[in-house]
Amino acid sequence: MKAIALSVSLMLASLSFVGCHADPDDPAGQAKELANPVRRQNAIGNLTRLYTSALAAHNGNRQDPAVKGIADAIIDSLIKTYTDFPEDNRTRRDILSLMREMRDVRSLPVLVKALEWRAEINEDQAIAAAQTLKNLTLDPAQTTQVVTALGVALDKVEGRRPTDAQMRTEFMSALGATKSHAAVAPLMRLALRLNEDQDFAFNVRAFQVLAPLTTAEDIPNLIKGLFLFAPGRPQFRVNDSAQIGLVGVGPAALQPLLDVLAGRNADANAMAASYIEAMRTAAPAYVETHTAALVVAEEATTVLGELGLSQAIQPLVSRLQTLTGEDHSGERLSIARALARIHRSPADTATVREAIISVYRASQKVERPFIVATLQHTFDADALPFLLEVARTPEDEVPVVRGLALHGYALLANGSEAAAARALIANEPGPADGGFHTEFEADNAPLLVAAGQCNVDIACWVGKLSDSNREVALKATYMLARLGRGNAAALNGLIAKIDFPNADVRVDVMAAIDFLADRGSPEAVARIETLQQTEDGRSIWNAVKPTALATAARLRARSAH
């Protein structure tokens, strides 16, 4: 009888226990059930269902009262459950998954705790936490806390497993998302780390993430980045990304880069020497034409050009005047390109033009097409006579230089100047007689027609940016750069076409914007950032990415100074 009574008592207790279950659609009730290990999994499933359904029903608006009400009812219980039951990894994962949907800054204690990962136990929780942190709006104190936790988590990653790769990726991304200069330190540690357990692609990615966050104090490490290379694969470098960081620093980078150019940076010299030694095995032909000193000079010159400060013009021109003989042809070409990139004032234009033309005259014929293209990108109308001279001069060894010069002339010519190009084409022999009449006509006729239609009318050229002929749109880009300094319509017209579907035209549109925007352009920077978000990974973004990021960095720095 006692056994029967005990059985009935247990059955009644069980029925009573079941009757106490919270309603599956009651967020607060389900949150309370998280404390019960038997009901916990069912409760977290219900809470996830309730929150995500409400979020979907209110168009993803997390501030809608119906959605926020659920968050308010459950957040404390989620935090307590995660904290109180460290051994329950399954529930912890589910809680982090729900918190990723909630994007609630009140979950910060859990997210920071989850970053304290241990190998083979809870790496996935640290990854989920980093993914969530990217979407939170933090105050300064919270940002400091998050950067510290992410930095510790990132420093602990020392393997080559797929999980290690994902942790590095997500921790770096979350650090970048803080937009805090404090994030540079942990990112730079990874960026400069050379270890066999870390693929060099992560060094590249780290420099890319930290570049927008850099300040003057980061210049020495960014300069190291100009010369960093992958052990065993010296062709794989991070110089492009380090360069963007230096451009973002702005004027403070000028003198350190001039010191690098002059050979006064010991780190740069030593790293360039190591690079040459590595290339001696990897690419012997490269070492036949390059020395460590040339590597240093080319890197410094390139960044000075990308930095775009007119104060670099005279030092570069002065250096150019000391470079005589074929041994310095590579550095001369590098200086010419840098001078074309610098954001000059009208007073500097003649100096830049004459320097680039001097490089042309001193160069081997095989290099001259590149110098013609460089001069074309100065958007300098006073370069037209020289371009026309090159186009008219017979050339048997490198005949392509004539066509490039004529095309550059046609891109920059107004209505009256176009007549000289038409005359040259008319007098050029045909293919049967060894001339290029047919080619010259095909390459330039649309440009010369457009020159006659718009001449120096900025509004007309803005309209031509939308022309179905890519060459005409390119011509409009050059004409707006030539004519449009100080004209808001010209700048705004170009910014509107920053997403031009052809990569070559898009690059020149960005160059024209950079040339016109004397005080920077937040609008252009915003458009470039949007392109980066929407096109990342696509072939067109890959083609324009170096130009786009460097342009945005220059415009951003110019706006700040």
**Which domain-ending residue is among 455, 483, 507?**
455
So what's the pLDDT on residue 20? 64
Planar angle of CA 257, 280, 192, nearest 5 degrees: 45
For residue 223, pLDDT over 90 is answered with yes
Band of the pLDDT at 8, cuts 50, 70, 90?
A: very low
Q: Dihedral through CA 549, CA 551, CA 557, CA 558, nearest 10?
A: -170
Lowest-confidence pick of 22-26, 77-81, 98-102, 322-326? 322-326
So what's the pLDDT on residue 9? 43
Q: Mutual orientation of helices 539-560 and 503-516 as an angle, nearest 10°? A: 0
Give the DSSP letter of residue 286: H
Residue 6 domain-assigned (yes or no): no
For residue 18, pLDDT over 80 is answered with no
Query: 229: helix, coil or strand?
Result: strand
User: Are residues 184 and 218 in contact, defined by beta-carbon separation less than 8 angstroms?
Assistant: yes
Tens-digit pLDDT profile for residues 486-540: 999 999 999 999 999 999 999 999 999 999 999 999 999 999 999 999 998 899 9
So what's the pLDDT on residue 561? 63
Give the DSSP letter of residue 321: T
Tokens linked to 224: 């190291």
User: Are residues 366 and 348 in contact, defined by beta-carbon separation less than 8 angstroms?
Assistant: no
Band of the pLDDT at 7, cuts 50, 70, 90?
A: very low
So what's the pLDDT on residue 11? 42
Do 347 and 416 fall within a single domain? Answer: no
Nearest to 107, CA basis, from 91, 95, 93, 124: 95
Nearest to 215, CA basis, from 266, 187, 265, 180: 180
Q: Mutual orientation of helices 400-412 and 437-454 as an angle, nearest 10°? A: 10
Residue 15 domain-assigned (yes or no): no
Residue 12 domain-assigned (yes or no): no
Percent of the chain with pLDDT over 70: 96
Do 464 and 534 fall within a single domain? Answer: yes
Residue 86 domain-assigned (yes or no): yes
Do 203 and 219 fall within a single domain? Answer: no
User: Are residues 130 and 177 in contact, defined by beta-carbon separation less than 8 angstroms?
Assistant: no
For residue 12, pLDDT over 60 is answered with no
> Average pLDDT for residues 343-351, to the nearest whole number?
94
- What's the rounded Cα separation, in Å, for the pair 186 and 151? 5
Planar angle of CA 275, 278, 279, nearest 5 degrees: 85
**Which domain-ending residue is among 354, 379, 404?**
379
- What's the rounded Cα separation, in Å, for the pair 295 and 275? 9
User: Are residues 200 and 236 in contact, defined by beta-carbon separation less than 8 angstroms?
Assistant: yes
Residue 11 domain-assigned (yes or no): no
- CB 534: neighbour CB atoms within 10 A? 10
Q: φ and ψ at 480, to 5 degrees?
A: -65, -35
User: Are residues 256 and 241 in contact, defined by beta-carbon separation less than 8 angstroms?
Assistant: no
Number of domains making up the chain: 6
pTM of the predicted protein model: 0.86
So what's the pLDDT on residue 186? 98
- What's the rounded Cα separation, in Å, for the pair 386 and 361? 11
Give the DSSP letter of residue 234: E
Do 280 and 320 fall within a single domain? Answer: no
So what's the pLDDT on residue 326? 77
> Average pLDDT for residues 294-314, to the nearest whole number?
95
So what's the pLDDT on residue 281? 93
User: Are residues 206 and 188 in contact, defined by beta-carbon separation less than 8 angstroms?
Assistant: yes
Do 469 and 550 fall within a single domain? Answer: yes
- What's the rounded Cα separation, in Å, for the pair 510 and 554? 11
- What's the rounded Cα separation, in Å, for the pair 217 and 219? 6
> Average pLDDT for residues 81-89, to the nearest whole number?
93
Residue 1 domain-assigned (yes or no): no
Q: φ and ψ at 233, to 5 degrees?
A: -140, 70
Band of the pLDDT at 453, cuts 50, 70, 90?
A: very high
- What's the rounded Cα separation, in Å, for the pair 437 and 468? 25
> Average pLDDT for residues 102-116, to the nearest whole number?
96
User: Are residues 352 and 313 in contact, defined by beta-carbon separation less than 8 angstroms?
Assistant: yes
For residue 13, pLDDT over 70 is answered with no
For residue 457, pLDDT over 80 is answered with yes
Band of the pLDDT at 34, cuts 50, 70, 90?
A: very high
For residue 297, pLDDT over 80 is answered with yes
- CB 388: neighbour CB atoms within 10 A? 20
Do 499 and 408 fall within a single domain? Answer: no
Do 26 and 42 fall within a single domain? Answer: yes
Band of the pLDDT at 324, cuts 50, 70, 90?
A: confident
- What's the rounded Cα separation, in Å, for the pair 385 and 559? 35
Tens-digit pLDDT profile for residues 389-429: 999 999 989 999 999 999 999 999 999 999 999 999 999 99
For residue 552, pLDDT over 60 is answered with yes
- What's the rounded Cα separation, in Å, for the pair 37 and 55? 27
So what's the pLDDT on residue 318? 95
Nearest to 245, CA basis, from 258, 257, 261: 257
- What's the rounded Cα separation, in Å, for the pair 190 and 164? 13
Do 175 and 128 fall within a single domain? Answer: yes
Q: Mutual orientation of helices 503-516 and 488-496 as an angle, nearest 10°? A: 150
> Average pLDDT for residues 454-479, to the nearest whole number?
97
Do 131 and 154 fall within a single domain? Answer: yes
- Tell me the torsion sign for CA atoms 52, 53, 57, 58: negative
User: Are residues 525 and 552 in contact, defined by beta-carbon separation less than 8 angstroms?
Assistant: yes
Beta strands in 498-555 (DSSP E): none
User: Are residues 357 and 323 in contact, defined by beta-carbon separation less than 8 angstroms?
Assistant: no
Identify the CATH number of the domain in which residue 525 sits: 1.25.10.10
How many residues appear in the chain?
A: 561
User: Are residues 52 and 61 in contact, defined by beta-carbon separation less than 8 angstroms?
Assistant: no
- What's the rounded Cα separation, in Å, for the pair 260 and 267? 9
Residue 7 domain-assigned (yes or no): no
Do 451 and 462 fall within a single domain? Answer: no
Structural domain harbouring 187 = 107-213
All residues at 6 or more sequence positions from 304 whose CB lies less than 8 Å from its CB, including other chains: 254, 257, 258, 261, 312, 316, 338, 342
So what's the pLDDT on residue 325? 76
- What's the rounded Cα separation, in Å, for the pair 57 and 338? 55
**Which domain-ending residue is among 345, 379, 413?**
379
Residue 269 domain-assigned (yes or no): yes
Do 83 and 128 fall within a single domain? Answer: no
Average pLDDT, the chain: 93
For residue 30, pLDDT over 80 is answered with yes
Do 541 and 449 fall within a single domain? Answer: no
